[in-house]
Structure 1
Amino acid sequence: MELCPQSRQCYAVLKLLAIFVILGSLIDSRLVESREVENLQATEYSAINCRKHSAVLTDFGGVGDGKTSNTKAFKSAIEHLSKYASDGGAQLIVPPGKWLTGSFNLTSHFTLYLHKDAVILGSQDEADYPVVPPLPSYGVGRDAPDGRFASLIFGTNLTDVVVTGNNGTINGQGRPWWTKFKAKQLNYTRPYLLELMFSDQIQISNLTFIDSPSWNIHPIYCSNVIVKWLTILAPVDVPNTDGVNPDSCTNTLIEDCYIVSGDDCIAVKSGWDQYGIDVGMPTKQLAIRRLTCISPDSATVALGSEMSGGIQDVRVEDVTAIDTQSGVRIKTAIGRGGYVKDIFVRNMRMKTMYYVFWMTGAYGSHPGGKFDPKALPNITGINYKDMVAENVTYTARLDGIKNDPFTGICISNATITLAEKAKELQWNCTDISGVTSRVTPKPCAALPEKEIDCPYPEDKLPIEKVQLKTCSA
């Protein structure tokens, strides 16, 4: 019996089938919006660049039940989307759900977008985080000498990367890591939540980061970085849960962030002792503004202690610190080398502080316990103006280094109201020099009063001039 007795009808059927096959292939190859995308309500967001192509994690087998591993789905999706880097780029949408995953790498000309009800859950299994070498400017891991676990979200040598969302959440599920760290049971440094290395044109925005195993956000050896509209939360009793750590980066903007941390809310770094000196990549052209910080055991903004590549031209303004150990703090030591200079702080509001001004020249941790005693840091040109603090225990502890004093300190228009049980000695100054104006309580003799208004640059950094585009997910 003939399978197709009427040739014209048979031909028409075969032709129709062929059309369906071709259309299906085109839909897959061009990544036209999938059913999942169509079912999600379109959301506008601001980004350095929009993308021509779009896909959803479920297109690649993602399961958002909080139990199924999505490491393979993330890796497959990003590998597939990387093909569109030269054709307008691509975005990966993480839809509502709880998406358990181990470490995965980003790609260039790419956006990772988290829906407002999307939660990325970091795996608690060490096997889900590859071990990577120590950072060149650190020489050893910070928790353990033999290396470090890759970050949950990682990337290196990338251009034009956006990690954003409609206030979606990245949850590091850090408790087992904290327990192992305290018990000294880790062979490698704990993973961070997000680390980008040797990359340019970076945006991290509109997200919540919680319970990181260690540091939350770590751009290192990067340029043209925007970090904004973030909420970062960590228990205040867990060490090394820094909020944002720009490290050997140029032209960076951090703004409109709310951070609760067991360590520094923001820590500015550039390498550790001889390793940082040898790499020689400073952090410079950094603007921090409209930050709110809570950190009872650490600083609002720390400069160092790993600052051996240098830190220069840092601008901090319109910052609020509550129940925090110190304001903008400098941490360094003999052996660091490098420099911290041209630092400008204005319009800080602080309440319930242990220190307002704190500089330390004896922050003594060193990689491998060794350091060059001739590698002395240069700390100069540190400016504070328009500072108000309430309920303060200790106004200032400013400890330079013998035969290597901290110079060019300027404090103007600062009003400090003391706590009921404040220290009797409010200013402790050694190996420093500078001036003050309109400061209460009365400063130490090393900072004589002079009618002066401490400087603050009025020009804008290049990163502050970047105009974000309106994109859609």
Structure 2
Amino acid sequence: MLLKLVTLFFLLLVHYAMGEETCLGFVPMKMRAETISLVDYGGVGDGQTLNTKAFKEAIYRIEHLNRPGGTLLYVPAGVWLTGPFNLTSHMTLFLAKGAVIKATQDAASWPLIDPLPSYGRGREKPGGRFSSLIHGDGLNDVIITGENGTIDGQGDVWWNMWRQGTLPFTRPHLLEFMHTSEIIISNVVLQNSPFWNMHPVYCSNVVINNVTILAPRDSPNTDGIDPDSSSNICIEDNYISTGDDLVAVKSGWDEYGIAYGRPSSGITIRRLTGSSPFAGVAVGSETSGGVENVSIEHITLDNTGIGIHIKTNEGRGGYIRNITVTNVNMHVVRMGIKIAGDVGDHPDEKFDPKAVPVVDGLTLKGIWGDNVQMPGLIHGLKSSSFTRICLYDIKFEIVGGREVPWKCADVSGSASDVEPLACTELASPYGPNFCANAV
């Protein structure tokens, strides 16, 4: 086991030696003092035996013995059917090669938990929400890693309830951490999540790298990674192909997010590859607590709805500021860039339509695309114009060589070296060198 963890650490060092920026050392990969196996607690990996009790008993043992240095829970090769379970602090969940943690499709056995305070209700339905398959609340020092084992949400039963309008409460995530710090998720495969795949909310110091996330293209709302009201997040070297946004940065929903007041900040998203009918990387639309200081770089997208989507709405409040997007390659996209103030719904009728968001200081540089249907749309709000929007070195090859213009309104900033030619609203009031200085 020690050798396996050393190997993972060595792979990170390879990136560092090649001169690539990495999250190395941002959250240390802990070598646990003790290893236990799920088999020791009655686990049976035959794909039919329910292992919820085995997972809970093993994690109870980790929590209550509280070994100095923590404990690693080893999941051997096999298919381990289970209902939802909670992790604990100072533990590593390690999936061996060929290990599959598979969610039960018995929806009645999934517990309900309270709605998030920054949302005020379940995201899809009023009231509570179903717990994620793997959940953690108020923890510190948690690692999920392995030899590319799989966590399978078997989400089709949930997707069908959504399509048929029979959901009683909001669907579960595959992984969710709340109020947790020092998290590493690496070298695992997530697939077929009932709802969003990975949701760190009210968290800090999180590394998500070398993860593969898969769901059918028509699976509803299967976002890949959604950091939410969280800080110091590093998302790198991941492959995601799902039915919704690959990565979406959030911070709460309308009046509830405004009242909770916890922003998302200090977020790095880099070396992401993937495909989606919706966005490659999104900010929003739930941004009521504010989103700032986000770096998005070295992104490769294929067959995607919108390459980069920054989205908010009247009633959201909050802010989106200091967002930098660089080195993005797109192939076959409906729209290259969309920055819009009329996206997303509301939790109830209590939202304040006068709570308008502030969108300021967005820099998008070094973005290229071919087989693009529309280059971009930037629509601010009449009551809150989007300001200091910088487009620089952006080239989209439009399908069929057509002349398709950008669409802009209620926005100011600058555009330089942009093809097709950017909208006149970005004729900079800040001077001809504004974009160059911004990047």
CA deviation string 1:283-327 (max 9, x = no partner): 00000000012012x111111100000000000111101111112
CA deviation string 1:340-385 (max 9, x = no partner): 0000011101111111110121114000244201101000000011
2:426 alignment partner, SS class: coil
> How far is 1:448 from its partner?
1.8
Distance in 2, matches of 1:356 and 1:141, equals: 31
Give runs of aligned pairs for residues 252-331 of structure 1, distance below 5 A.
252-296=233-277, 298-331=278-311
Query: Equivalent residue for 1:54?
Result: 35
- For residue 82 of structure 2, the aligned residue among 101, 116, 119 is 101
> How far is 1:240 from its partner?
0.7
> How far is 1:225 from its partner?
0.3
Amino acid at match of 1:180: M
Distance in 2, matches of 1:184 and 1:454, equals: 51
> How far is 1:403 from its partner?
2.0
Does the CA contact (< 8 Å) of 2:34 and 2:67 recur in 1?
no
2:55 alignment partner, SS class: helix
Give runs of aligned pairs for residues 153-192 of structure 1, distance below 5 A.
153-192=134-173
- The farther-off stretch of 111-120 and 354-363 is 354-363
Query: Equivalent residue for 1:419?
Result: 399
Query: Equivalent residue for 2:19?
Result: none
Distance in 2, matches of 1:85 and 1:417, equals: 58
- For residue 443 of structure 1, the aligned residue among 422, 426, 429 is 422
Does the CA contact (< 8 Å) of 1:110 and 1:160 recur in 2?
yes
Does the CA contact (< 8 Å) of 1:85 and 1:110 recur in 2?
no
Query: Equivalent residue for 1:241?
Result: 222
- The farther-off stretch of 121-130 and 442-451 is 442-451
Give runs of aligned pairs for residues 137-156 of structure 1, distance below 5 A.
137-156=118-137
Distance in 1, matches of 2:31 and 2:427, equals: 53
Q: Which has the higher contact order (CA 8 A, sep 6+)?
A: 1
Distance in 1, matches of 2:38 and 2:232, equals: 32
> How far is 1:146 from its partner?
1.6
Does the CA contact (< 8 Å) of 1:265 and 1:299 recur in 2?
yes
Query: Equivalent residue for 1:374?
Result: 354
Does the CA contact (< 8 Å) of 1:53 and 1:84 recur in 2?
no
Does the CA contact (< 8 Å) of 1:270 and 1:282 recur in 2?
yes
CA deviation string 1:175-204 (max 9, x = no partner): 111001111111111111100000010011
Distance in 1, matches of 2:97 and 2:6, equals: 10
Could you say if the C-alpha distance between residues 45 and 274 of structure 1 is closer, same or farther in structure 2, counting changes exceeding 3 Å?
same
Amino acid at match of 1:428: K
- For residue 397 of structure 1, the aligned residue among 368, 377, 384 is 377
Aligned length: 417
Query: Equivalent residue for 1:351?
Result: 331
Query: Equivalent residue for 1:453?
Result: 436
Distance in 1, matches of 2:282 and 2:437, equals: 20
Does the CA contact (< 8 Å) of 2:5 and 2:31 recur in 1?
no
Distance in 2, matches of 1:41 and 1:234, equals: 28
1:58 alignment partner, SS class: helix
Amino acid at match of 2:289: G
CA deviation string 1:73-108 (max 9, x = no partner): 000000001134351100100000000000000000
Give runs of aligned pairs for residues 199-210 of structure 1, distance below 5 A.
199-210=180-191
Amino acid at match of 2:396: I
Q: Which runs of 5+ in 1 are unaligned?
A: 1-36, 457-473
Query: Equivalent residue for 1:362?
Result: 342
Distance in 2, matches of 1:284 and 1:299, equals: 20
> How far is 1:387 from its partner?
1.0
Amino acid at match of 2:343: Y
TM-score (norm 2): 0.92
Q: Which runs of 5+ in 2 are unaligned?
A: 10-27
- For residue 209 of structure 2, the aligned residue among 209, 228, 249 is 228
> How far is 1:454 from its partner?
5.8
Does the CA contact (< 8 Å) of 2:370 and 2:399 recur in 1?
yes
- For residue 431 of structure 1, the aligned residue among 394, 397, 410 is 410
- The farther-off stretch of 61-70 and 398-407 is 398-407
Does the CA contact (< 8 Å) of 1:411 and 1:454 recur in 2?
no
Query: Equivalent residue for 2:8?
Result: 45
Distance in 2, matches of 1:426 and 1:145, equals: 41
- The CA RMSD over aligned residues, in Å, is 1.7
Give runs of aligned pairs for residues 7-22 of structure 1, distance below 5 A.
none
Distance in 2, matches of 1:293 and 1:42, equals: 27
Could you say if the C-alpha distance between residues 364 and 332 of structure 1 is closer, same or farther in structure 2, counting changes exceeding 3 Å?
same
Amino acid at match of 2:364: Y
